[in-house]
Structure 1
Amino acid sequence: MAAALTTALLALPLTACGSDDDPAPASGAAEGSGTPSRGDGASAEPSTAPSSPEPAGTTVPVYYVGDTPQGPRLFREFRRVTGDPLAAAAALVTDGNPLDPDYRTLFPGGTFTSVAVEDGVIVATRDDRDWQTPGDLSEADGALALQQLVYTLQGALQQRLPVEVRVDGEADFLFGTDTAGGVANAAPLDTLGLVNVTSPEEGASVGATLKASGVASSFEATVPWRILDADGNAVLDGFATAEGWIDKLYPWSTGIDVSALAPGDYVFEASTDDPSGGEGGGPTVDTKDFTVS
């Protein structure tokens, strides 16, 4: 069954690895075209077909950890991989090499020897028990590290199947959690960053128009944004409107005229709206460095 699944996944067009669970990004070097809504809180994002041929491979969502007023949460990056997308996505989690320097992984290195689907469960196999207990991780960080793996593999597969870790053919613990029977994804609003920038991607180069997009759960669906210069000064600001709020993360997008900006390096910043004026810990913020060419 695992071999058949891998073959089927690799046969999918690049536009498919953004399913209703994790739509592919709207723009950027590692993008695929978007697809409809995601069940964990990020619905469909608008897509733009690439203007030049893209390298062979598959675009997969990979979840990393970033800091928020609510504590560490998961943020999504889209990465282009070759070979088995499940195994490649798992390797990106454990390697801990996100494009965005504000993100990190909680995994202490190591690898999974294989990842496959068996009887409705995503099975990630280890060859030792190094990650059986949290080690230097707190209980909360261990649980979030497990969710990094769960959300990433579910996104790569495009199905919300539970994840089980095995050693020597038997279900095992991961960072102190028994994975026997499979671990489900935790509630999105308790696990994901409440705003996440999909486009521009970290390090993107843009022309006269910056196409910004992402997902958010923000007060009254308002997503404030700013563009900062190299000194941290805001040179442009505005807001986007998401497709909803309260119950999950919803897509937002906007086009920004940057033709008046001098060529150079800038930061795009999106945040949740904060009607409390900071009394609740302040807004969740996600940033991406980009260049105006």
Structure 2
Amino acid sequence: MTSDDTRMARLFSQVAQGVDPGDRLEELLAEARDRSGRSSRRRLAAVGVVLVVASVLAAFAVARGDSTRTSPQPAAPALPVPSTASDPDATGPGTAVTVYYLSDTPDGPRLFREVRVVDGSPLDGAVRAAAGRDERGRKQYPVDTDYRSVWPPLTTASARLAADGVIEVSLGGDPQRDLRSRGYLPAQEAGLAVEALVRTAQDAAGQRLPVRLLLFDRPTDQILGVSTAEPLDAAPDRGVLADVSLTDPAENLLVDQDEALVVRGLGRTAGGAVTVGLVPVTGDEPVVERTARSEEGGDGLRPFVVTFDLTGIAPGDYDVVARAPDPSGSGLPHTDTRTITVVD
């Protein structure tokens, strides 16, 4: 990604928070993607920027005149974000929640986490974001342009804690596009979309409660081709979550040169080591690199943290790149990135 691309993506991402690209445009894009096949992560990012450009222009003109259910699993390590577990149905402004999105890895699509701030009920806001909508029902994209929500256009979502101890997530949307079928989605991505919704709801509730998926507030036997006749639990981490996932810093963060940059995330490697580097967006080699060891070993994802002194780092745009070696030995590492700007 070039420096200009990064600045453009940052500007449009901020503007897009208050602009609706238009549901018809989303539907046409989905149909076009169906015809042309899957694109690369960077190509998807470019498409997202194009959509936001169209939205900004339209707004300016107006202003001027086959996944399977698994048995319950232990909770994954909690992200270091404000907890909503005390009352996930409580309403209030500015609550941080963890939302799961898809992105690509050398082993195929996997789930990554992004911390978002939602208004109102944290549980409701979190599942809405996972389905690609904000509190006003407008299309909402992940802040990190490497991530994506693959739910069909016009999909809506709401959630509540039911009296029988399950989380109920009700989905809706365009009656002409049946959410029972996965449509143009590959089976693996359809399964991960449902998994993302389940994990997002469980994290927002603060408990690994079963998740009952409804369609227009009614029971349904499947969603996106995934069986939902019974409440769902999170699948095992391996094969679902990426081997490395950043928590901090946030995408597009401005960092003062005089302040330390703290990088946090979750990783899974044979030796527990994750390499973290600071790479100029106009280059390929890191200007500084550290090896972070996770707190514990084992097969699951474990927290890691590393701190960078930015005193000698020139101001500019950088990618924070976390890299975990491929346990299969293929030589293709799993990575996650955040773009930041170092200022004087």
Amino acid aligned to 2:184 = D
Q: How many residues align?
A: 247
Taking a change above 3 Å as real, the CA distance of residues 271 and 40 of structure 1, as seen in their structure-2 partners, is: farther
> How far 1:274 sits from its partner (Å)?
4.6
**2:214 pairs with one of 145, 162, 166:** 166
The reply on whether 1:284 has 2:334 as its aligned counterpart is yes
Amino acid aligned to 1:263 = P
Q: Is the 8 A contact 2:169 2:211 kept in 1?
A: yes
Taking a change above 3 Å as real, the CA distance of residues 275 and 78 of structure 1, as seen in their structure-2 partners, is: closer
**1:42 pairs with one of 74, 77, 88:** 77
Q: Deviation per CA, 1:230-280, whole angstroms, max 9, x where unpaired? A: 32232111211111233211100011111101111111101113577xx42
SS state at 1:269 partner: strand
SS state at 2:149 partner: coil
**1:231 pairs with one of 271, 277, 282:** 282
Structure 1 alignment gaps of length 5 or more: 1-37, 48-54
Q: Deviation per CA, 1:22-55, whole angstroms, max 9, x where unpaired? A: xxxxxxxxxxxxxxxx9543256499xxxxxxx9
> How far 1:86 sits from its partner (Å)?
1.6
Taking a change above 3 Å as real, the CA distance of residues 43 and 170 of structure 1, as seen in their structure-2 partners, is: closer
| Match of residue 217 from structure 1 | 268
**1:98 pairs with one of 110, 130, 142:** 142
Q: Which has the larger radius of gyration?
A: 2
> How far 1:180 sits from its partner (Å)?
2.3
- Pairing 1:261-276 to 2, within 5 Å after superposition: 261-274=313-326
| Match of residue 116 from structure 1 | 160
The reply on whether 1:78 has 2:115 as its aligned counterpart is yes
SS state at 2:182 partner: coil
> How far 1:181 sits from its partner (Å)?
2.4
Distance 2:81 2:206 in 1: 18
| Match of residue 27 from structure 1 | none
Q: Deviation per CA, 1:137-187, whole angstroms, max 9, x where unpaired? A: 122111111001001111111111122222355321111122122111111
Distance 2:210 2:141 in 1: 25
Q: Is the 8 A contact 1:107 1:145 kept in 2?
A: yes
SS state at 1:219 partner: coil
Taking a change above 3 Å as real, the CA distance of residues 85 and 243 of structure 1, as seen in their structure-2 partners, is: same
The reply on whether 1:180 has 2:229 as its aligned counterpart is yes
Amino acid aligned to 1:285 = T
Q: Percent identity?
A: 35
The reply on whether 1:259 has 2:311 as its aligned counterpart is yes
CA-atom RMSD in angstroms: 2.3
TM-score (norm: length of structure 1): 0.78
Q: More helix by proportion, 1 or 2?
A: 2
> How far 1:113 sits from its partner (Å)?
5.3
Q: Is the 8 A contact 1:225 1:239 kept in 2?
A: yes
